[in-house]
Chains A and B, each alone.
Chain A
C-alpha cells in the first residue's frame, strides 16, 4: 500500500481534538516511519482512545491535588542556601525558602540573580575576533563591565587623611583600564554626585582629593561613606557579574548577583530574548502577566527539580495560573488569594478570623456556601468530586409546561458519558414511580443544544434531566430567576 504524503497526514490529524504536543509527535512519527492510510486511521483511533482514558475527569478537585503535590515534597526539602548549579560564585536561595518566596509573590527575592545571554547574530564561533558577543571572550567581558556596578574601591585605594581633613583617592590605572574606564569621567562623576565637597583632580597621578565643605570630622566620615556608594559605571542593582561558558555550549553567559531586567535589555550585546531573572515581579512589570506566569512556573519547577523532587508541571501551572488569573501577581495567602475569597467563612477559617467576621457584618455579606471550608463548617456535603453530582427532580408546572424544559437545560451537568448514561437510567427509574414528574430527556436530544463556553470544551456535553422535589440550586447555570430572588 502506498505511503501517505506529509500533507495527507497533516490533513488527517490537524482537526483532531488533541493537545498540540501529541499532534506534533504524531506528525513526526508518521513522517519518519512512513504509514499507509489504513495504519494511520488505526493509529488515530488508538490515540483517541488513549487520550480519552488519560483525560482528567470532570469534578476532579484539581486544586487540592495540586496544593498537596507541591506542599507534600516541601517536607523533604533542605533549608539551606546553596550554590547555583554550575556557577559556584553566586549564592542563590534554593529549596523550601525559595519555594515559599515564589508562592509569596515577593516584590524582591532574597537573592535576585540574572542569567544574561549574549547576542550571536553573526553565528560565528571562532576565536579571532570575528565572532559575536556570545562567543568572543573580550566582547562578552566588556558587556560584563558595562553591567556590573563599579564602585570606587574596585578601582582605587581610598585613604582618609585626618591631618588635612581630606580624602585621597588613588586610582589604580590597571584596574581602571581593565574596566574600560576613563579617569576624567570618574572625576567628573564625583563632582556631579557630591556637589558640596571640594574636588581636586590630578590627572597625571590619577589622584582625586575630596575635602568636605565644613572641616568637621563627622562630615569627613560621611563623605567617605558617600563616595563608596557612588556607582561609577554599570547598573546600580547589579552587584556582581560572573562570566561563564555555558554548560554544554561554548557560549559565554553572564550570571549576576542582583537584578535589573529593565536596564539590562538596553545594553548592547545582550540577547534579550533569552535573558532572564529570577525576580517574578520584575518580569511582570517588564513583560506582563503571561510572562510572569511562565516565570513562576519555571522558577518553581527549577526549585523542585534541583531538590530532586518530581512534581508534574500541571500542578505548578495551576498554582501559577491562579496567582496570575486576575492580571496581577497575587500571593498565595492572606494578602492574596485566600484573603479575597468569596466566602466569609473560608476567609475567617484561614487567618485574621475576627476582622473578617466584623467586616462581613458591617457589609451585610452573604455566604453562599459554595466552597469547601464553608460547607465543612456548616456540616454539609462538599460540592466537589462525587459531591458535585446530583440527581435533581422537578415537578412539572401544570400551567406552563414549557418552563420546565428551559430550566432543565440549565441545570444539566454530568460527569462523563458513562455516568450520564447511568444517571439517565436511574433518573428514569425514579421517575416511573412518581406520576407527577416529567419524563427524562435522553442524552442525545439535548446533545448540541448547549455549549459551555468554548472552543476548549471537547465533547462531554451530555444531558441528564434530574428528578427530586428538593430545591435544585446549582452553582453555575442556575436559572436566572432564582438568582434574582437571592439578591434582593
Chain B
C-alpha cells in the first residue's frame, strides 16, 4: 500500500533555470539540420531535412517519429536547426547589444571600467541579488558608467561612438558594424567582465545574442492543417522558416558565385529581416511580415504575448474536465448549502469511488444500472489503470469481476460535494461548495439567498459546476468552501448571504403589527406557514378570537425559527435610530430569549450585507445554525408573502389629486425661483460663490433649487403612500427600490445630468430647437417635471435618453477599469501569506507586516476587535452595564 502511494506522488519541479542557447547547444539538441525549404513531397510525405522532417516530430496520424519512435500525439516533438550562412542579430536583445557595444572596448573587448570599479559593482550586484531585488537599475548604471569612458583603461584604445538604428543596425563612426564584427567583439569579453554586467557566462554569453545557428521549433509547435479540399495550410512559423531557409540558400549561392558586395549586403539585410520577424513581427521600424491575404503573421513573440497568449491564455488558464454549465433558477426550498443539478448532468458527471469492503455492494448496484439509468455508473477503472466503459453487455460481467482497489466512476448523487461558480469571480465567495441535489429540469437550482455573494440573478445567468475528484479535495471543499462557512464576508466581517427581495417583503408582512392577513393566524395557517421548515409544534396561542378560535401572531411564527436564548435589539430599516420613536412605530426590534418581542423584521434584520440577526446567530451559535436560520427564513418568508399576496401594478403609482396639485405647486414655485435666479444673473445682481465664476454659480444654484424641488415632491408623494402601497412597503422594508424610485415613478423624474452638470450640449446656445437661444430655464436644460406614471413630453424624453446613455457608458468603462485594477491588485498581493508567527511575508520571505493587520485579527471575525465585544464580556461577567 505504502509503495503504491509513493509511486503516485508525481515528480516535483523545484526550480526552472533560464539561459541563452549557445550554438553548440542548439546543434546538440537538434534532431536534424534543416536545409530544404520544402515541406511535403507529391505523395504528401514529409521531405527529409525539410521543415516537416519526421525527425522533428509527427503530427499526421499513422506516421512515427524517427527520433523517439512514438506515434503522433505521444511524441512531444524535437528541435532541428538551420545553419545560418552569416550571423544575424537576435532582435529581442538589440538594446542589450547596443548597451554592450557602448560599454565594451572596440579593440580589446574588455568592459570599460577599472578593476576596482568592477569589483565594487560585482559586490553590489551580488548584494542586490542576495536580498532578492531586481538588479536592473544597478546594471544600467554599470552600462552608463562604462559608456562614459572614452579611452580603454586596458589597451588605451580610443572609444568610438556607437549609433543604433532600430531595430538591428549598429553604426560606429558612421560605418555599419556587421553582426560578424559584433560577434567577434563579444566573443572576447572575459567571463569576469560578463558577470559585472549581470550576465551569467556559463548560461548566457553575450555573443549568443548574435545568432549563427537558428533553432527550428518542433513540428508539434507549428502543425499544418489539412483543409477540406485536401490542400495543406502551413503554420505562420513554418512560413517564416521557409523564408529564412530560402534567403539563407540564396546568400550561400551568391557568395559562392562571388556576387558583388552590394548584393551580398542586401541579402544579409533580408536574412536579418526574416529572422527578426520570425522572433517578433511587431518590431517598430520595419514593416510586419504579412500573409498573401494581408494579415500579419503571428510569430513567436505574438504567441506568448497578451491575454490570449501562451502565458496568460494557455499556461495560467487551465481547462478542466468534470464541469457543467447551465442557466440558473431559484428554489427557496433548497438549503443554501445545496445546489439543484439537472438529471442529464448527473448522468454524465461522475465521482470516482474506490471499491472497498463497505461499498462494494453499493457500487455493484450502480454498475448494474449502467450509464443510462440513474443512479448508475459510467466507467470502471481496474487497479492496473485500465479503463472499462460500462455497457449493457458487460454490466453483469463487471459486477462479478469487481475487486477491492478498483475505482468505479458512479453518477453524481445527492449529497456529493461540488464547486459552484459564477463569473466574474471577483472574490472568494464567487466559488463555493454546495452539496448536490439531483432534480428534474434543465437548470441549476439554488436558494436565492446565495445570490448576493455570486452577484447572480435569474434573468438568464449561467453558472458553472465542478465535480471534485479526490477525497482530499472534497474534504477541503466541505470544510473551507461550503456556503455556510462563507456567510461572513472577509471584506467587512458581516454576512454577505441573506434574504433578498421577496424574503424581506415576506418577513416584513408577517411580522408587522397590523397586517390584516397575518395579524391573526389560526392553527392551520400557522402550521402551513411553517410547513417547509422542520418546526412542527406551535407555542401557546397569542389569544382567542371572537369565534373562540385560537390564534397566533406573525411575530410568534417568526420566533419559531430563532434559536433559543438569542438576545438582540436594534433599530430596523424603517426605524429612525431614535429608540423611543421607533418602539412606538414597531420599528425597534427586540428579541429576548429567542422570542421576537417587538419590532418588524426587515432588511436590517435579515437582508444580505446587513442581517443583524443572522450575524449574531453565526457569531454565537456557529455557522450551521446560521445556515439553518437562512434556510428557514427563506422558506417561511416565501410562504408568508404568498399568504398575504404582493403585487405591483401601474395603479400603485397613483397618488391622490390633492397630492398632484401640491407637487405641481412645488415644481412651479421652483421654476419661478429659477427664473428669479436667472433674472438676477442677467441683471448682474447675483453674488458669485467664492472661487467660482458667475456662470458656475448660477448653474449650481439652479441645480440646488431643482434638486430640492424634486425631493419635496417626492416627500409629498411618499406621504400619500402608506405601507399598504406595495412600492412604499418594499422601499421602506428594504426589499427593493428606494424612495427615489417612488418619487420618479409617482411625482417627478428630476434633473437629467451629463457629467454632473445640467445638459448643455446640442445646438448653438441651446439644447434643442424647441427653446429660445440662451434660455437658462429648467426645462431647457433637462429638468424632467413629469413622472414616469404621467409620461414624459418629447423634450423631456430626449433629455432623459441623454442621461440614461451616460449611465450605460459609465458602466461599460467602469467594468474594464475596475477589472484591470483587480488584476493588478491580485497580481501584486497574491504571494502574501500569513505565517505561523503571524507575520505577513512574500515568497522571498520578506516581511511585509510584522503582525497581520496590526492586531493579528481575521477581518472575517473582526467584530472582536471592536470595543462592543469587550463590553459584552464585561456585561456577561459582572452583570453590569458598561
Interchain nearest-CB distance for B868 vs A (Å): 9
A residues neighboring B (CB under 8 Å): 19, 21-22, 25-26, 29-30, 32-33, 35, 39, 42-43, 46-47, 50-51, 53-75, 77-82, 88-90, 96-97, 99-100, 103, 240, 242-243, 257, 310-315, 317-319, 321-322, 325, 332-333, 336-346, 348-350, 353-355, 357-358, 360-373, 376-380, 384, 386, 388, 413-415, 433-434, 452-454, 456-458, 460-461, 469-471, 473, 475-476, 486
Residues of A within 8 A of B318 (CB): 376, 379
CA–CA, A89 and B692, complex, Å: 7
Interchain nearest-CB distance for B76 vs A (Å): 15
CA–CA, A379 and B314, complex, Å: 12
Residues of A within 8 A of B320 (CB): none
The 8 Å CB contact of B838, one of A58, A332, A361, is: A58
CA–CA, A413 and B845, complex, Å: 14
Interchain nearest-CB distance for B597 vs A (Å): 27
- Contact call A42/B858, Cβ cutoff below 8 A: no
Q: Could you pull out 21 A-B pairs where Cβ atoms are within 8 angstroms? A: A35-B874, A39-B877, A50-B869, A56-B857, A57-B858, A58-B834, A62-B834, A67-B828, A72-B426, A75-B815, A80-B755, A103-B825, A243-B690, A318-B849, A321-B848, A332-B828, A342-B844, A364-B204, A368-B843, A452-B835, A456-B838
Q: When A29-B874, A366-B18 are in contact, do A317 and B491 touch as well, CB less than 8 Å? A: no
Interchain nearest-CB distance for A335 vs B (Å): 11
- Contact call A103/B821, Cβ cutoff below 8 A: yes
Decide if B827 is an interface residue (CB 8 Å cutoff). Answer: yes
- Contact call A82/B756, Cβ cutoff below 8 A: yes
Q: When A50-B873, A458-B856, A461-B836 are in contact, do A367 and B864 touch as well, CB less than 8 Å? A: no
Convert B837-856 into 0s and 1s, putting 1 for each residue whose CB lies closer than 8 angstroms to a CB of A.
Answer: 11111111111111111111
Interface size class of chain B, counting residues whose CB lies under 8 Å from the partner chain: 35 or more
The 7 closest A-B pairs by CB, nearest first: A63-B832, A364-B200, A71-B822, A314-B853, A74-B818, A19-B855, A63-B829
Residues of A within 8 A of B155 (CB): none
Residues of A within 8 A of B847 (CB): 325
- Contact call A370/B843, Cβ cutoff below 8 A: yes
- Contact call B491/A311, Cβ cutoff below 8 A: yes
Residues of B within 8 A of A370 (CB): 831, 843-844
- Contact call B833/A59, Cβ cutoff below 8 A: yes
Convert B808-832 into 0s and 1s, putting 1 for each residue whose CB lies closer than 8 angstroms to a CB of A.
Answer: 0010011101100110111111111
CA–CA, A470 and B14, complex, Å: 12
- Contact call B209/A362, Cβ cutoff below 8 A: yes
CA–CA, A350 and B305, complex, Å: 10
Decide if B739 is an interface residue (CB 8 Å cutoff). Answer: no
- Contact call A319/B829, Cβ cutoff below 8 A: yes
- Contact call B199/A362, Cβ cutoff below 8 A: yes
CA–CA, A157 and B219, complex, Å: 79
- Contact call B20/A72, Cβ cutoff below 8 A: no
- Contact call A363/B830, Cβ cutoff below 8 A: no
Residues of A within 8 A of B821 (CB): 71, 74, 96, 99-100, 103
Q: When A50-B869, A69-B427, A311-B491 are in contact, do A33 and B874 touch as well, CB less than 8 Å? A: yes
Q: When A43-B873, A312-B491, A349-B311 are in contact, do A60 and B865 touch as well, CB less than 8 Å? A: no
CA–CA, A378 and B314, complex, Å: 11
The 8 Å CB contact of A456, one of B829, B845, B850, B863, is: B850
Residues of A within 8 A of B834 (CB): 56-60, 62
Interchain nearest-CB distance for B281 vs A (Å): 12
Interchain nearest-CB distance for B703 vs A (Å): 11
Residues of B within 8 A of A414 (CB): 836
- Contact call A457/B853, Cβ cutoff below 8 A: no
Interchain nearest-CB distance for B735 vs A (Å): 19
Residues of B within 8 A of A365 (CB): 17-18
Residues of A within 8 A of B857 (CB): 19, 51, 54-56, 314
Convert B124-135 into 0s and 1s, putting 1 for each residue whose CB lies closer than 8 angstroms to a CB of A.
Answer: 000000001111
19 more contacts with CB within 8 A, not counting A25-B867, A456-B837, are: A43-B873, A46-B876, A50-B864, A55-B856, A59-B835, A61-B832, A64-B832, A67-B830, A72-B427, A79-B810, A312-B493, A341-B843, A345-B315, A368-B15, A452-B837, A453-B837, A457-B837, A470-B9, A475-B843
Residues of B within 8 A of A460 (CB): 836-838
Residues of A within 8 A of B838 (CB): 55-56, 58, 456-458, 460
- Contact call B880/A33, Cβ cutoff below 8 A: yes
Residues of B within 8 A of A22 (CB): 855, 865, 870
CA–CA, A8 and B826, complex, Å: 48
CA–CA, A377 and B880, complex, Å: 59
Interchain nearest-CB distance for A116 vs B (Å): 15
- Contact call B316/A377, Cβ cutoff below 8 A: yes
- Contact call A456/B851, Cβ cutoff below 8 A: yes
Convert B297-338 into 0s and 1s, putting 1 for each residue whose CB lies closer than 8 angstroms to a CB of A.
Answer: 000010011100101100110100000000000000000000
- Contact call A360/B18, Cβ cutoff below 8 A: yes
Interchain nearest-CB distance for B333 vs A (Å): 30
Residues of B within 8 A of A51 (CB): 857, 864
Q: When A46-B873, A69-B491 are in contact, do A312 and B862 touch as well, CB less than 8 Å? A: yes
Interchain nearest-CB distance for A84 vs B (Å): 12
CA–CA, A43 and B877, complex, Å: 7
Residues of B within 8 A of A317 (CB): 849, 853-854
Residues of A within 8 A of B426 (CB): 68, 71-72, 75
Decide if B217 is an interface residue (CB 8 Å cutoff). Answer: no
Decide if B92 is an interface residue (CB 8 Å cutoff). Answer: yes
Interchain nearest-CB distance for A318 vs B (Å): 7
Residues of A within 8 A of B854 (CB): 19, 314, 317
CA–CA, A23 and B213, complex, Å: 71
CA–CA, A340 and B135, complex, Å: 10
Residues of B within 8 A of A30 (CB): 874
Q: When A310-B492, A373-B316 are in contact, do A63 and B831 touch as well, CB less than 8 Å? A: yes
The 8 Å CB contact of B18, one of A65, A322, A337, A367, is: A367
Interchain nearest-CB distance for A325 vs B (Å): 5
Q: When A68-B428, A89-B692 are in contact, do A471 and B202 touch as well, CB less than 8 Å? A: no
- Contact call A64/B830, Cβ cutoff below 8 A: yes
- Contact call A338/B836, Cβ cutoff below 8 A: no
- Contact call A89/B830, Cβ cutoff below 8 A: no
- Contact call B859/A357, Cβ cutoff below 8 A: no
Residues of B within 8 A of A81 (CB): 756
Q: When A56-B852, A103-B825 are in contact, do A315 and B859 touch as well, CB less than 8 Å? A: yes
- Contact call A71/B818, Cβ cutoff below 8 A: yes
- Contact call B861/A53, Cβ cutoff below 8 A: yes
B820's nearest neighbour on chain A, judged by CB, is A100
Residues of B within 8 A of A50 (CB): 864, 869, 873
Residues of B within 8 A of A96 (CB): 814, 817-818, 821
Residues of B within 8 A of A73 (CB): 491
Q: When A62-B832, A413-B836 are in contact, do A353 and B305 touch as well, CB less than 8 Å? A: yes
Residues of A within 8 A of B700 (CB): 88
- Contact call A60/B870, Cβ cutoff below 8 A: no
Decide if B536 is an interface residue (CB 8 Å cutoff). Answer: no
B841's nearest neighbour on chain A, judged by CB, is A476
Decide if B6 is an interface residue (CB 8 Å cutoff). Answer: yes
A32's nearest neighbour on chain B, judged by CB, is B882
Q: When A321-B848, A361-B20 are in contact, do A377 and B315 touch as well, CB less than 8 Å? A: yes
Residues of A within 8 A of B840 (CB): 62-63, 318, 321
Interchain nearest-CB distance for B400 vs A (Å): 33
Residues of B within 8 A of A67 (CB): 822, 825-826, 828-830
Q: When A47-B870, A361-B18 are in contact, do A58 and B862 touch as well, CB less than 8 Å? A: no
Decide if B280 is an interface residue (CB 8 Å cutoff). Answer: yes
Interchain nearest-CB distance for B708 vs A (Å): 14
Residues of A within 8 A of B828 (CB): 67, 322, 332-333, 336-338
Decide if B16 is an interface residue (CB 8 Å cutoff). Answer: yes
Decide if B290 is an interface residue (CB 8 Å cutoff). Answer: no
B304's nearest neighbour on chain A, judged by CB, is A353
Residues of A within 8 A of B815 (CB): 75
Residues of A within 8 A of B849 (CB): 317-318, 321
Interchain nearest-CB distance for B493 vs A (Å): 6
